Structure 1
Amino acid sequence: MSPRVFDCIAYLIEHRDRAVGRDELMASVWGRADIADTQLGQVVLRARRAAGDSGDAQLAIRTVVGFGYRWVAETVEDDTDAALPADPAPDPAPVPVAPAARRVPLIVLALLLVAAGALGWTVHNGRQADPTPVAAAPAPVVATGRTIAITPARVDATAEWDWLRLGAMELIAGRLRGAGQIVIPSENVIALAQAAPDPRALADAVHAALHPRWIVASTFLKADAGWIVRLQLRAHGHETREFQGQADDAIRAAGLATAQLLATLGAPADAAAAPPDALEEWLSRIDAAVLVEDLDSARQLLRNVPEAMRTRPALRLRQAEVDFTAGQNEAAAAALQDLLDGLPAESDVLVHARAVALTAAVQVRLGRAAEAEHSATKALALLEGHDAPALIGKSFMRRGVARARLGRADEALADLAQARIALQLAGDTLGIALVELNEGALSGIRNQPAEALASFVRAEAHFRPFGASSELAIALTNQVVAHRALLQPDQALAASERSLALLGHLANVESTQLVEVRRAQALADVGQWREAEARLDSLARAPDLEQQLELAATVANERARIALARGQPEVALGLVQPLIERLTAREFAGNRLECWETVIRALHALDRDAEAATAATALAEWARHADDRSFTARLRLVEAGQAERAGRFDEADDRYGAALAAAGQEGVPADIAQVAIAYATALLARGDITRAVPVAGRLDRYASRSYDAAVVQVRLYRALRQAEAWRRALDNARALAGERPIPADLAIEPGALVIGPALPPAGQR
Structure 2
Amino acid sequence: MIYRFDDFVLNCATRELSKAGEPIVLPARAFDCLAYLIEHRDRAVGRDELIAAVWGRAEISEALLSHTIVKLRRGLGDTGNEQRTVRTVPRFGYRWGSATTVEASSPDSAAPAVAAAAEVEESLPPEAPPARAPEDAPASGGVDAEAAGGRALPPGRRRLIGAALAAALLLAAAAWLLSQRPARPPADTAAVEMAPAAPVLVLPADVGAPDEWRWLRFGLMDLVANQLRDGAVPTAPSESVVGLLKQRPAMDGEALLRDASLSQFAALRVLPRVRLEQGRWRVQLEGFGAQQAVSVEAEAGDAIQAAHLAADALLRKLGRTPNSASASPVLDELLQRSGAAMLADQLEQARALIEHAPPELQQEPKVQQRMAQIELRAGENPAVETRLLALLDRLPPGRDDAVRARSMVTLAASHVRRGQFDRALELYEEAIALRQEHNDHSVLGIARLGRGTILAQRGKFEEGTAELSRARTELEAIGDSFGVASVDVNLGEFQQMRHRPADALPILKNAARQFERLDAREGRAYALVQQIGAESELLDSDAALATSERFWPPESNTNNQRMRWTLTAARATALAGVGRFEEAQVLVGRIRRETDARQDAIARGRAELLAARIAMLRGDAAAAAGFAQSALSPALRNEDPAAYARGLLLQARALRGSDRPAEAARAAQALAEGAAGNEWLTMYANLAAAEQAMAERRREPALTQFAAAMRTAERLNVPEDLVAVGTAYLDLLIETSQLDTARTVSGRIAMWADHDPRAAAAQARLFRAIGQDDAARKAEQSLERLRRSAAADAPPHP
Q: Which TM-score band (shorter chain)?
A: 0.7 to 0.9
Partner residue, 1:517: 569
Q: How far off is 1:407 after superposition?
A: 4.6
Once residues 573 and 789 of structure 2 are traced to their aligned partners in structure 1, the CA distance between those partners, rounded to angstroms, is 14
RMSD: 3.8
- Counterpart amino acid of residue 267 in structure 1: R
Once residues 679 and 114 of structure 1 are traced to their aligned partners in structure 2, the CA distance between those partners, rounded to angstroms, is 26
TM-score by length of 1: 0.73
Structure 1 residues 177 and 510, CA gap change in structure 2 (3 angstroms): closer
Partner residue, 1:251: 304
Q: How far off is 1:436 after superposition?
A: 1.6
Partner residue, 1:234: 288
Structure 1 residues 727 and 270, CA gap change in structure 2 (3 angstroms): closer
User: Which of these residues, 255, 262, 277, is aligned with residue 223 of structure 1?
Assistant: 277
2:602 partner SS: helix
Once residues 613 and 409 of structure 2 are traced to their aligned partners in structure 1, the CA distance between those partners, rounded to angstroms, is 44
Partner residue, 2:13: none
- Counterpart amino acid of residue 165 in structure 2: H
User: Which of these residues, 740, 743, 764, is aligned with residue 690 of structure 1?
Assistant: 740
Once residues 287 and 326 of structure 1 are traced to their aligned partners in structure 2, the CA distance between those partners, rounded to angstroms, is 15
Q: How far off is 1:642 after superposition?
A: 1.9
Partner residue, 2:794: none
Q: Is the 8 A contact 1:373 1:402 kept in 2?
A: yes
User: Which of these residues, 125, 150, 161, is aligned with residue 166 of structure 2?
Assistant: 125
Once residues 121 and 319 of structure 1 are traced to their aligned partners in structure 2, the CA distance between those partners, rounded to angstroms, is 24
Structure 1 residues 662 and 206, CA gap change in structure 2 (3 angstroms): farther
1:285 partner SS: helix
- Counterpart amino acid of residue 429 in structure 1: S
Q: Is the 8 A contact 2:148 2:166 kept in 1?
A: yes
1:161-310 paired onto structure 2 within 5 Å: 161-197=213-249, 198-199=251-252, 207-208=261-262, 211-236=265-290, 240-269=293-322, 279-302=331-354
Q: How far off is 1:278 after superposition?
A: 5.6
| Identity between Structure 1 and Structure 2 (%) | 30
1:85-484 paired onto structure 2 within 5 Å: 124-126=165-167, 129=170, 145-197=197-249, 198-199=251-252, 207-208=261-262, 211-236=265-290, 240-269=293-322, 279-302=331-354, 313-343=365-395, 346-484=398-536
- Counterpart amino acid of residue 669 in structure 2: A
Once residues 508 and 672 of structure 2 are traced to their aligned partners in structure 1, the CA distance between those partners, rounded to angstroms, is 31
1:612 is aligned to 2:664? no
Once residues 718 and 161 of structure 2 are traced to their aligned partners in structure 1, the CA distance between those partners, rounded to angstroms, is 15
Structure 1 residues 448 and 367, CA gap change in structure 2 (3 angstroms): same
Once residues 152 and 471 of structure 2 are traced to their aligned partners in structure 1, the CA distance between those partners, rounded to angstroms, is 21
Q: How far off is 1:251 after superposition?
A: 2.4
Structure 1 residues 206 and 355, CA gap change in structure 2 (3 angstroms): farther
- Counterpart amino acid of residue 708 in structure 1: R
Q: How far off is 1:372 after superposition?
A: 2.4
Q: Is the 8 A contact 2:231 2:320 kept in 1?
A: yes
Once residues 98 and 228 of structure 1 are traced to their aligned partners in structure 2, the CA distance between those partners, rounded to angstroms, is 22
Q: Deviations over 1:490-541 (max 9, x none)?
A: 2222212323265544323333333333233223223333433444344444
Q: How far off is 1:612 after superposition?
A: 2.1
Once residues 577 and 368 of structure 1 are traced to their aligned partners in structure 2, the CA distance between those partners, rounded to angstroms, is 25
Q: Which runs of 5+ in 1 are unaligned?
A: 1-96, 133-142, 742-765
Q: Deviations over 1:164-223 (max 9, x none)?
A: 112112321233223221111111112233443432565588954961111111111111
Structure 1 residues 456 and 715, CA gap change in structure 2 (3 angstroms): same
Once residues 127 and 723 of structure 1 are traced to their aligned partners in structure 2, the CA distance between those partners, rounded to angstroms, is 52
Once residues 720 and 596 of structure 2 are traced to their aligned partners in structure 1, the CA distance between those partners, rounded to angstroms, is 32
1:386 partner SS: coil
Structure 1 residues 556 and 100, CA gap change in structure 2 (3 angstroms): farther
TM-score by length of 2: 0.70
- Counterpart amino acid of residue 273 in structure 2: T
Once residues 628 and 435 of structure 1 are traced to their aligned partners in structure 2, the CA distance between those partners, rounded to angstroms, is 29
Q: Which runs of 5+ in 2 are unaligned?
A: 1-137, 174-194, 792-798
Once residues 320 and 202 of structure 1 are traced to their aligned partners in structure 2, the CA distance between those partners, rounded to angstroms, is 33
1:556-571 paired onto structure 2 within 5 Å: 556-571=608-623
Once residues 728 and 167 of structure 1 are traced to their aligned partners in structure 2, the CA distance between those partners, rounded to angstroms, is 66
1:189 partner SS: helix
Q: How far off is 1:671 after superposition?
A: 1.0
1:666 is aligned to 2:716? yes
- Counterpart amino acid of residue 726 in structure 2: A
Q: How far off is 1:228 after superposition?
A: 1.4
2:296 partner SS: strand
Q: How far off is 1:235 after superposition?
A: 0.8
Once residues 635 and 460 of structure 2 are traced to their aligned partners in structure 1, the CA distance between those partners, rounded to angstroms, is 24
Q: How far off is 1:683 after superposition?
A: 1.5
- Counterpart amino acid of residue 714 in structure 2: G
Once residues 378 and 582 of structure 1 are traced to their aligned partners in structure 2, the CA distance between those partners, rounded to angstroms, is 30
Q: Deviations over 1:217-240 (max 9, x none)?
A: 11111111511111110115x675
Of residues 149-158 and 307-316 in structure 1, the stretch that sits farther from structure 2 once superposed is 307-316
1:500 partner SS: coil
Once residues 725 and 305 of structure 1 are traced to their aligned partners in structure 2, the CA distance between those partners, rounded to angstroms, is 77
2:749 partner SS: coil
- Counterpart amino acid of residue 245 in structure 1: A
Q: How far off is 1:430 after superposition?
A: 0.7
Q: How far off is 1:693 after superposition?
A: 1.4
1:701 partner SS: helix
Q: Is the 8 A contact 1:113 1:120 kept in 2?
A: no
2:764 partner SS: helix
Q: How far off is 1:655 after superposition?
A: 1.1
Partner residue, 2:756: 706
Q: Is the 8 A contact 1:704 1:710 kept in 2?
A: yes
- Counterpart amino acid of residue 650 in structure 1: E
Q: Deviations over 1:244-265 (max 9, x none)?
A: 2122222232233223322332
Structure 1 residues 119 and 180, CA gap change in structure 2 (3 angstroms): closer
1:241 partner SS: strand
Number of equivalenced pairs:
629
2:551 partner SS: helix
- Counterpart amino acid of residue 744 in structure 2: P
Once residues 581 and 253 of structure 1 are traced to their aligned partners in structure 2, the CA distance between those partners, rounded to angstroms, is 58
Once residues 270 and 557 of structure 1 are traced to their aligned partners in structure 2, the CA distance between those partners, rounded to angstroms, is 55
Q: Deviations over 1:298-330 (max 9, x none)?
A: 445445656776665444443443443444444
Q: Is the 8 A contact 2:148 2:169 kept in 1?
A: no
- Counterpart amino acid of residue 510 in structure 1: R
Partner residue, 2:705: 655
